[in-house]
Structure 1
Amino acid sequence: MTSPLPPVRVRIFVDFWNFQLSLNSMEAAAGRPSFQLDWNGVAGACCDTVNALIKPVSGVAYEGLHVYSSYTDGKAADMKHKNWVETWLDARPGVVATCVKRSQKKSPPKCPACHAEATNCVACGGDMRGMEEKGVDTRIVSDMMSLAWNGAYDVAVLVTADRDFIPVAQELQDRGIKVIHGKIGKSGMDLAKHCWVSFDLYAERTKFERKAKK
Protein backbone atom coordinates (compact mmCIF):
# COMPACT_ATOMS: atom_id res chain seq x y z
CA MET A 1 0.00 0.00 0.00
CA THR A 2 1.54 3.31 -1.09
CA SER A 3 1.75 6.23 1.30
CA PRO A 4 0.01 9.51 0.32
CA LEU A 5 2.10 12.17 -1.35
CA PRO A 6 3.36 14.95 0.95
CA PRO A 7 1.90 18.43 0.48
CA VAL A 8 3.70 20.94 -1.73
CA ARG A 9 5.72 23.21 0.54
CA VAL A 10 5.34 26.95 -0.14
CA ARG A 11 7.56 29.85 0.94
CA ILE A 12 6.71 33.46 0.17
CA PHE A 13 9.33 36.18 -0.40
CA VAL A 14 8.11 39.79 -0.28
CA ASP A 15 9.96 42.98 -1.23
CA PHE A 16 8.12 45.18 1.31
CA TRP A 17 8.36 48.63 -0.25
CA ASN A 18 7.86 47.38 -3.79
CA PHE A 19 4.71 45.59 -2.60
CA GLN A 20 3.31 48.43 -0.49
CA LEU A 21 4.01 51.20 -3.02
CA SER A 22 2.54 49.14 -5.86
CA LEU A 23 -0.63 48.62 -3.83
CA ASN A 24 -0.77 52.34 -3.05
CA SER A 25 -0.36 53.16 -6.75
CA MET A 26 -3.26 50.89 -7.70
CA GLU A 27 -5.47 52.47 -5.04
CA ALA A 28 -4.50 56.00 -6.11
CA ALA A 29 -5.39 55.17 -9.72
CA ALA A 30 -8.83 54.14 -8.48
CA GLY A 31 -9.21 57.35 -6.48
CA ARG A 32 -8.83 55.67 -3.09
CA PRO A 33 -6.42 56.34 -0.18
CA SER A 34 -3.26 54.27 0.39
CA PHE A 35 -3.75 50.54 0.91
CA GLN A 36 -3.87 49.36 4.53
CA LEU A 37 -2.22 45.93 4.70
CA ASP A 38 -3.26 43.17 7.07
CA TRP A 39 -0.12 41.05 7.05
CA ASN A 40 -1.92 38.18 8.77
CA GLY A 41 -3.80 37.55 5.51
CA VAL A 42 -0.94 37.69 2.97
CA ALA A 43 0.28 34.11 3.41
CA GLY A 44 -3.24 32.68 3.17
CA ALA A 45 -3.97 34.61 -0.03
CA CYS A 46 -0.74 33.35 -1.65
CA CYS A 47 -1.16 29.73 -0.54
CA ASP A 48 -4.80 29.62 -1.69
CA THR A 49 -3.73 30.80 -5.14
CA VAL A 50 -0.79 28.35 -5.35
CA ASN A 51 -3.15 25.51 -4.46
CA ALA A 52 -5.56 26.60 -7.20
CA LEU A 53 -2.79 26.97 -9.81
CA ILE A 54 -0.87 23.74 -9.13
CA LYS A 55 -3.74 21.58 -7.85
CA PRO A 56 -1.51 19.17 -5.88
CA VAL A 57 -3.14 15.92 -4.74
CA SER A 58 -2.13 16.48 -1.12
CA GLY A 59 -2.62 20.26 -1.08
CA VAL A 60 -0.05 22.84 0.00
CA ALA A 61 1.82 23.46 3.25
CA TYR A 62 2.74 26.99 4.30
CA GLU A 63 6.41 27.00 5.34
CA GLY A 64 7.08 30.68 5.86
CA LEU A 65 6.68 34.32 4.84
CA HIS A 66 9.94 36.25 4.38
CA VAL A 67 9.58 40.04 4.31
CA TYR A 68 12.42 42.41 3.41
CA SER A 69 12.26 46.15 4.10
CA SER A 70 14.64 49.11 4.52
CA TYR A 71 14.95 52.32 6.52
CA THR A 72 16.89 55.58 6.64
CA ASP A 73 18.86 55.89 9.87
CA GLY A 74 17.86 58.84 12.06
CA LYS A 75 14.61 59.59 10.22
CA ALA A 76 11.79 59.43 12.77
CA ALA A 77 9.18 57.77 10.54
CA ASP A 78 11.71 55.23 9.26
CA MET A 79 12.95 54.36 12.76
CA LYS A 80 9.34 53.75 13.78
CA HIS A 81 8.93 51.52 10.71
CA LYS A 82 12.10 49.58 11.59
CA ASN A 83 10.85 49.00 15.12
CA TRP A 84 7.48 47.78 13.78
CA VAL A 85 9.17 45.36 11.35
CA GLU A 86 11.48 43.90 13.97
CA THR A 87 9.10 43.73 16.93
CA TRP A 88 5.61 43.20 15.47
CA LEU A 89 5.87 41.84 11.94
CA ASP A 90 8.74 39.47 12.70
CA ALA A 91 6.73 38.04 15.61
CA ARG A 92 3.85 36.85 13.39
CA PRO A 93 3.59 33.04 13.05
CA GLY A 94 5.86 31.79 10.27
CA VAL A 95 7.13 35.30 9.42
CA VAL A 96 10.81 36.22 9.13
CA ALA A 97 11.09 40.00 8.67
CA THR A 98 14.26 42.04 8.22
CA CYS A 99 14.87 45.78 7.84
CA VAL A 100 18.09 46.88 6.12
CA LYS A 101 19.70 50.28 6.58
CA ARG A 102 19.72 52.44 3.44
CA SER A 103 22.96 54.08 2.31
CA GLN A 104 23.62 57.45 0.73
CA LYS A 105 24.07 57.49 -3.02
CA LYS A 106 27.69 58.03 -4.08
CA SER A 107 26.86 59.97 -7.23
CA PRO A 108 24.83 63.21 -7.13
CA PRO A 109 22.15 64.04 -9.74
CA LYS A 110 23.25 65.62 -13.04
CA CYS A 111 21.86 68.57 -14.94
CA PRO A 112 19.88 67.26 -17.94
CA ALA A 113 21.27 70.09 -20.12
CA CYS A 114 25.01 70.26 -19.38
CA HIS A 115 25.35 67.02 -17.35
CA ALA A 116 27.22 68.78 -14.55
CA GLU A 117 26.87 67.11 -11.17
CA ALA A 118 24.85 68.96 -8.52
CA THR A 119 25.91 67.70 -5.09
CA ASN A 120 24.32 70.49 -3.05
CA CYS A 121 21.07 72.41 -3.40
CA VAL A 122 21.68 76.00 -4.58
CA ALA A 123 18.89 77.26 -2.30
CA CYS A 124 19.63 75.62 1.06
CA GLY A 125 23.00 73.91 0.52
CA GLY A 126 21.60 70.51 1.45
CA ASP A 127 23.08 67.27 0.10
CA MET A 128 21.12 66.22 -3.02
CA ARG A 129 22.48 62.70 -3.34
CA GLY A 130 19.57 61.09 -1.53
CA MET A 131 19.40 57.56 -0.15
CA GLU A 132 19.25 54.19 -1.87
CA GLU A 133 18.18 50.71 -0.86
CA LYS A 134 21.23 48.44 -0.75
CA GLY A 135 21.26 44.86 0.40
CA VAL A 136 17.54 44.03 0.20
CA ASP A 137 17.69 42.38 -3.22
CA THR A 138 20.86 40.54 -2.25
CA ARG A 139 19.25 39.26 0.96
CA ILE A 140 16.18 38.00 -0.91
CA VAL A 141 18.26 36.17 -3.53
CA SER A 142 20.56 34.70 -0.88
CA ASP A 143 17.65 33.39 1.19
CA MET A 144 15.81 31.98 -1.82
CA MET A 145 18.91 30.11 -2.94
CA SER A 146 20.12 28.85 0.45
CA LEU A 147 16.67 27.67 1.54
CA ALA A 148 16.22 25.91 -1.80
CA TRP A 149 19.58 24.11 -1.51
CA ASN A 150 18.60 23.00 2.01
CA GLY A 151 15.36 21.54 0.66
CA ALA A 152 13.18 23.94 2.63
CA TYR A 153 10.49 24.46 -0.03
CA ASP A 154 9.09 23.24 -3.34
CA VAL A 155 7.43 26.44 -4.57
CA ALA A 156 8.53 30.06 -4.07
CA VAL A 157 6.04 32.90 -4.36
CA LEU A 158 8.02 36.03 -5.23
CA VAL A 159 6.19 39.30 -4.57
CA THR A 160 8.01 42.13 -6.34
CA ALA A 161 8.04 43.92 -9.70
CA ASP A 162 11.83 44.13 -9.87
CA ARG A 163 13.30 42.53 -13.00
CA ASP A 164 16.62 42.07 -11.16
CA PHE A 165 15.14 38.81 -9.82
CA ILE A 166 14.95 37.22 -13.28
CA PRO A 167 18.28 35.33 -12.89
CA VAL A 168 17.33 33.71 -9.56
CA ALA A 169 13.91 32.74 -10.93
CA GLN A 170 15.56 31.07 -13.91
CA GLU A 171 18.20 29.32 -11.79
CA LEU A 172 15.68 27.87 -9.35
CA GLN A 173 13.40 26.64 -12.09
CA ASP A 174 16.33 25.01 -13.89
CA ARG A 175 16.75 23.01 -10.69
CA GLY A 176 13.10 21.93 -10.56
CA ILE A 177 11.74 24.52 -8.11
CA LYS A 178 8.70 26.45 -9.26
CA VAL A 179 8.85 30.24 -8.88
CA ILE A 180 5.42 31.88 -8.99
CA HIS A 181 5.28 35.63 -9.43
CA GLY A 182 2.81 37.53 -7.27
CA LYS A 183 2.32 40.72 -9.24
CA ILE A 184 0.28 43.83 -8.53
CA GLY A 185 -1.79 44.74 -11.57
CA LYS A 186 0.41 45.01 -14.66
CA SER A 187 3.65 45.68 -12.76
CA GLY A 188 6.62 43.36 -13.17
CA MET A 189 5.71 41.95 -16.59
CA ASP A 190 9.39 41.25 -17.45
CA LEU A 191 9.82 39.16 -14.30
CA ALA A 192 6.51 37.38 -14.88
CA LYS A 193 7.74 36.07 -18.26
CA HIS A 194 10.56 34.17 -16.54
CA CYS A 195 8.50 32.61 -13.75
CA TRP A 196 6.56 29.33 -13.90
CA VAL A 197 3.35 31.35 -13.75
CA SER A 198 2.20 34.68 -12.38
CA PHE A 199 -1.00 35.79 -10.69
CA ASP A 200 -2.45 39.17 -9.77
CA LEU A 201 -2.14 39.40 -6.01
CA TYR A 202 -4.07 42.67 -6.14
CA ALA A 203 -7.13 40.69 -7.24
CA GLU A 204 -6.92 38.84 -3.90
CA ARG A 205 -6.59 42.04 -1.86
CA THR A 206 -9.79 41.53 0.17
CA LYS A 207 -7.96 38.67 1.93
CA PHE A 208 -5.22 40.96 3.24
CA GLU A 209 -6.80 44.42 3.46
CA ARG A 210 -7.05 45.84 6.96
CA LYS A 211 -10.59 46.83 7.72
CA ALA A 212 -11.31 50.19 9.26
CA LYS A 213 -12.36 50.01 12.89
CA LYS A 214 -15.99 50.96 13.50
Structure 2
Amino acid sequence: MTPVAPTATPLRIRIFVDFWNFSLALRQIDSTFMLDWKPVPSVFVAEAAQLLGAPVIFEAMHVYGSYDPAKPNDVKFKNWFSNWLDKQPGTHTVLLERQKKRNPPSCPHCYNKVETCPTCSGDMRGTEEKGVDTRIATDLISLAWSNGYDVAVIVSADRDFVPVADFLQSRGIKVIHAAFPPSGSQLSQRCWANFSVTSLMPKFKK
Protein backbone atom coordinates (compact mmCIF):
# COMPACT_ATOMS: atom_id res chain seq x y z
CA MET A 1 0.00 0.00 0.00
CA THR A 2 1.14 3.52 -0.74
CA PRO A 3 1.50 5.45 2.53
CA VAL A 4 -0.79 8.43 2.88
CA ALA A 5 1.03 11.69 3.57
CA PRO A 6 0.02 13.23 6.89
CA THR A 7 -2.26 16.25 6.62
CA ALA A 8 -0.86 19.41 8.20
CA THR A 9 -2.82 20.62 11.18
CA PRO A 10 -4.37 24.01 10.36
CA LEU A 11 -2.96 26.97 12.27
CA ARG A 12 -5.61 28.62 14.46
CA ILE A 13 -5.86 32.37 13.91
CA ARG A 14 -7.30 34.95 16.31
CA ILE A 15 -7.70 38.58 15.29
CA PHE A 16 -7.40 41.36 17.89
CA VAL A 17 -8.84 44.71 16.77
CA ASP A 18 -8.45 48.08 18.47
CA PHE A 19 -11.77 49.48 17.20
CA TRP A 20 -11.04 53.21 17.30
CA ASN A 21 -7.46 52.85 16.11
CA PHE A 22 -8.69 50.78 13.15
CA SER A 23 -11.72 52.97 12.35
CA LEU A 24 -9.87 56.29 12.57
CA ALA A 25 -7.00 55.00 10.45
CA LEU A 26 -9.49 54.10 7.71
CA ARG A 27 -11.08 57.55 7.92
CA GLN A 28 -7.68 59.26 7.70
CA ILE A 29 -7.13 57.56 4.36
CA ASP A 30 -10.68 58.18 3.12
CA SER A 31 -12.89 60.53 5.15
CA THR A 32 -16.03 59.09 3.53
CA PHE A 33 -15.10 55.43 4.08
CA MET A 34 -17.92 53.22 5.40
CA LEU A 35 -16.76 49.90 6.84
CA ASP A 36 -18.61 46.62 6.30
CA TRP A 37 -17.58 44.46 9.24
CA LYS A 38 -18.93 41.17 7.87
CA PRO A 39 -16.04 40.38 5.47
CA VAL A 40 -13.27 41.71 7.76
CA PRO A 41 -12.37 38.36 9.43
CA SER A 42 -12.22 36.42 6.15
CA VAL A 43 -10.13 39.14 4.45
CA PHE A 44 -7.59 39.27 7.29
CA VAL A 45 -7.42 35.48 7.63
CA ALA A 46 -6.79 35.13 3.88
CA GLU A 47 -3.91 37.65 4.08
CA ALA A 48 -2.43 35.84 7.08
CA ALA A 49 -2.74 32.46 5.34
CA GLN A 50 -0.85 33.78 2.32
CA LEU A 51 2.01 34.93 4.57
CA LEU A 52 2.06 31.68 6.54
CA GLY A 53 1.95 29.42 3.51
CA ALA A 54 0.01 26.86 5.53
CA PRO A 55 -3.60 25.75 6.08
CA VAL A 56 -5.38 27.95 8.60
CA ILE A 57 -8.64 28.11 10.51
CA PHE A 58 -10.41 31.20 11.80
CA GLU A 59 -10.74 30.85 15.55
CA ALA A 60 -12.24 34.24 16.53
CA MET A 61 -12.10 38.00 16.12
CA HIS A 62 -11.92 40.12 19.30
CA VAL A 63 -12.90 43.79 18.98
CA TYR A 64 -12.15 46.30 21.75
CA GLY A 65 -13.70 49.76 22.01
CA SER A 66 -14.81 52.53 24.35
CA TYR A 67 -17.76 54.90 24.65
CA ASP A 68 -18.97 57.90 26.65
CA PRO A 69 -22.29 57.08 28.37
CA ALA A 70 -23.07 60.80 28.66
CA LYS A 71 -23.29 61.23 24.87
CA PRO A 72 -26.47 60.10 23.05
CA ASN A 73 -24.54 59.08 19.93
CA ASP A 74 -22.22 56.93 22.04
CA VAL A 75 -25.22 55.19 23.61
CA LYS A 76 -26.37 54.28 20.08
CA PHE A 77 -22.84 53.10 19.33
CA LYS A 78 -22.91 50.89 22.44
CA ASN A 79 -26.16 49.27 21.30
CA TRP A 80 -24.71 48.56 17.84
CA PHE A 81 -21.41 47.31 19.27
CA SER A 82 -23.04 44.99 21.81
CA ASN A 83 -26.18 43.91 19.95
CA TRP A 84 -24.99 43.66 16.35
CA LEU A 85 -21.19 43.43 16.09
CA ASP A 86 -20.91 41.02 19.02
CA LYS A 87 -23.43 38.68 17.36
CA GLN A 88 -21.44 38.24 14.14
CA PRO A 89 -19.99 34.73 13.67
CA GLY A 90 -16.81 34.24 15.68
CA THR A 91 -16.80 37.83 16.94
CA HIS A 92 -16.37 38.80 20.60
CA THR A 93 -16.51 42.42 21.76
CA VAL A 94 -15.27 44.30 24.81
CA LEU A 95 -16.62 47.82 25.37
CA LEU A 96 -15.30 50.02 28.18
CA GLU A 97 -16.62 53.35 29.45
CA ARG A 98 -14.42 56.34 28.69
CA GLN A 99 -13.13 58.11 31.81
CA LYS A 100 -13.11 61.81 32.69
CA LYS A 101 -9.67 63.36 32.32
CA ARG A 102 -8.10 64.30 35.62
CA ASN A 103 -7.08 67.78 34.52
CA PRO A 104 -9.10 70.40 32.61
CA PRO A 105 -7.63 72.13 29.53
CA SER A 106 -5.29 75.10 29.91
CA CYS A 107 -5.48 78.48 28.24
CA PRO A 108 -2.86 78.55 25.44
CA HIS A 109 -1.94 82.12 26.38
CA CYS A 110 -1.78 82.35 30.18
CA TYR A 111 -1.73 78.57 30.87
CA ASN A 112 -4.42 78.82 33.56
CA LYS A 113 -6.57 75.72 33.82
CA VAL A 114 -10.17 76.25 32.70
CA GLU A 115 -12.30 73.96 34.86
CA THR A 116 -15.78 75.18 33.84
CA CYS A 117 -17.19 76.72 30.69
CA PRO A 118 -17.67 80.49 31.15
CA THR A 119 -20.93 80.31 29.18
CA CYS A 120 -22.79 77.27 30.51
CA SER A 121 -20.67 76.36 33.60
CA GLY A 122 -20.20 72.87 32.24
CA ASP A 123 -17.23 70.65 33.09
CA MET A 124 -14.44 71.41 30.62
CA ARG A 125 -12.69 68.10 31.15
CA GLY A 126 -13.01 65.76 28.21
CA THR A 127 -12.97 61.98 28.34
CA GLU A 128 -10.20 59.55 27.47
CA GLU A 129 -9.92 55.88 26.68
CA LYS A 130 -8.65 53.88 29.65
CA GLY A 131 -7.91 50.19 29.85
CA VAL A 132 -8.49 49.15 26.23
CA ASP A 133 -4.82 48.49 25.39
CA THR A 134 -4.39 46.68 28.70
CA ARG A 135 -7.40 44.46 27.99
CA ILE A 136 -6.12 43.61 24.51
CA ALA A 137 -2.67 42.74 25.89
CA THR A 138 -4.22 40.66 28.69
CA ASP A 139 -6.36 38.67 26.26
CA LEU A 140 -3.45 38.14 23.87
CA ILE A 141 -1.39 36.61 26.67
CA SER A 142 -4.14 34.73 28.53
CA LEU A 143 -5.54 33.11 25.38
CA ALA A 144 -2.05 32.11 24.30
CA TRP A 145 -1.41 30.70 27.79
CA SER A 146 -4.57 28.57 27.52
CA ASN A 147 -3.52 27.36 24.03
CA GLY A 148 -6.32 29.31 22.38
CA TYR A 149 -4.52 30.08 19.12
CA ASP A 150 -1.35 29.62 17.07
CA VAL A 151 -1.28 32.95 15.22
CA ALA A 152 -2.36 36.41 16.40
CA VAL A 153 -3.28 39.20 13.99
CA ILE A 154 -3.04 42.58 15.75
CA VAL A 155 -5.04 45.39 14.15
CA SER A 156 -3.57 48.52 15.73
CA ALA A 157 -0.73 50.96 15.12
CA ASP A 158 0.00 51.31 18.84
CA ARG A 159 3.64 50.61 19.66
CA ASP A 160 2.59 49.64 23.21
CA PHE A 161 1.95 46.16 21.78
CA VAL A 162 5.63 45.68 20.89
CA PRO A 163 6.51 44.01 24.26
CA VAL A 164 3.47 41.74 23.96
CA ALA A 165 4.48 40.71 20.43
CA ASP A 166 8.03 40.01 21.65
CA PHE A 167 6.74 37.89 24.53
CA LEU A 168 4.32 35.85 22.41
CA GLN A 169 6.94 35.14 19.77
CA SER A 170 9.39 34.02 22.43
CA ARG A 171 6.77 31.39 23.28
CA GLY A 172 6.36 30.18 19.70
CA ILE A 173 3.27 32.21 18.79
CA LYS A 174 3.44 33.94 15.42
CA VAL A 175 2.25 37.58 15.50
CA ILE A 176 1.15 39.30 12.30
CA HIS A 177 0.58 43.04 12.18
CA ALA A 178 -2.36 44.38 10.15
CA ALA A 179 -0.78 47.77 9.52
CA PHE A 180 -1.44 51.18 8.00
CA PRO A 181 2.04 52.10 6.72
CA PRO A 182 3.92 54.19 7.66
CA SER A 183 2.02 54.25 10.99
CA GLY A 184 2.96 51.52 13.44
CA SER A 185 6.30 50.77 11.81
CA GLN A 186 7.84 49.81 15.17
CA LEU A 187 5.21 47.14 15.74
CA SER A 188 5.52 45.88 12.16
CA GLN A 189 9.28 45.49 12.55
CA ARG A 190 8.93 43.36 15.68
CA CYS A 191 6.15 41.10 14.42
CA TRP A 192 6.76 37.85 12.55
CA ALA A 193 5.10 39.37 9.47
CA ASN A 194 2.84 42.23 8.46
CA PHE A 195 0.44 43.24 5.72
CA SER A 196 -1.02 46.57 4.63
CA VAL A 197 -4.70 47.13 5.44
CA THR A 198 -4.78 50.08 3.03
CA SER A 199 -4.64 47.87 -0.05
CA LEU A 200 -7.47 45.70 1.33
CA MET A 201 -9.96 48.52 1.96
CA PRO A 202 -12.04 47.88 -1.19
CA LYS A 203 -12.75 44.36 0.08
CA PHE A 204 -14.63 45.57 3.14
CA LYS A 205 -16.07 48.85 1.94
CA LYS A 206 -19.84 49.30 2.11
Alignment TM-score, normalising by the size of structure 1 = 0.89
1:121 is aligned to 2:117: yes
Q: Is it true that 1:19 corresponds to 2:22 in the alignment?
A: yes
**Inter-partner Cα distance in structure 1 for 2:74 and 2:181:** 27
d(CA) in 2 for partners of 1:177, 1:193? 16
Within-5 A mapping of 1:60-71: 60-71=56-67
Give the AA of the match of 1:69.
G
Q: Aligned partners of 1:119 and 1:166: how far apart in 2? A: 36
Shift of 1:75: 1.1
Matches within 5 A, 1:144-163: 144-163=140-159
Match of 2:43 among 42, 45, 51: 45
Give per-residue Cα distances to partners, 1:15-63, cap 9 Å, x unaligned: 00110111001003xxxx2x2111111111111111111101xx11000
Looking at structure 1, the residues matched to 44 and 183 of structure 2 have their Cα atoms a distance apart, in angstroms, of 17
The counterpart of 1:142, out of the listed 115, 138, 142, is: 138
> 5 Å matches for 1:1-214?
3-28=6-31, 33=32, 35-56=33-54, 59-210=55-206
Q: What are structure 2's unaligned runs of at least 5 residues?
A: none
Aligned partner letter, 1:20: S
The alpha-carbon deviation at position 74 of structure 1 amounts to 2.6
Instruction: Quote the offset at 1:183 in angstroms.
Output: 1.1
Cα shift at 1:185: 3.6
Secondary structure of 2:39's counterpart equals: helix
Q: Distance in 2 between matches of 1:121 and 1:170?
A: 45
Q: Secondary structure at the match of 2:76?
A: helix
Q: Which amino acid aligns with 2:63?
A: V
Cα pair 1:73 1:79 within 8 Å, conserved: yes
Aligned mates of 1:130, 1:113 — CA distance in 2: 20
Alpha-carbon distance between aligned partners in 2 of 1:188 and 1:163, rounded to the nearest angstrom = 6
Letter in 2 for 1:50: A
| Percent identity of equivalent pairs | 47
The two structures, once aligned, show a CA RMSD in angstroms of 1.5
Letter of the 1:129 counterpart: R
Scaled by the length of structure 2, what TM-score is found?
0.93
Where does the alignment leave 5 or more consecutive residues of structure 1 unmatched? none
Asked if the contact 1:26/1:185 (under 8 Å) is kept, the reply is: no
Cα separation, 2, equivalents of 1:198 and 1:174: 17
| CA displacement at 1:112 relative to structure 2 | 4.2
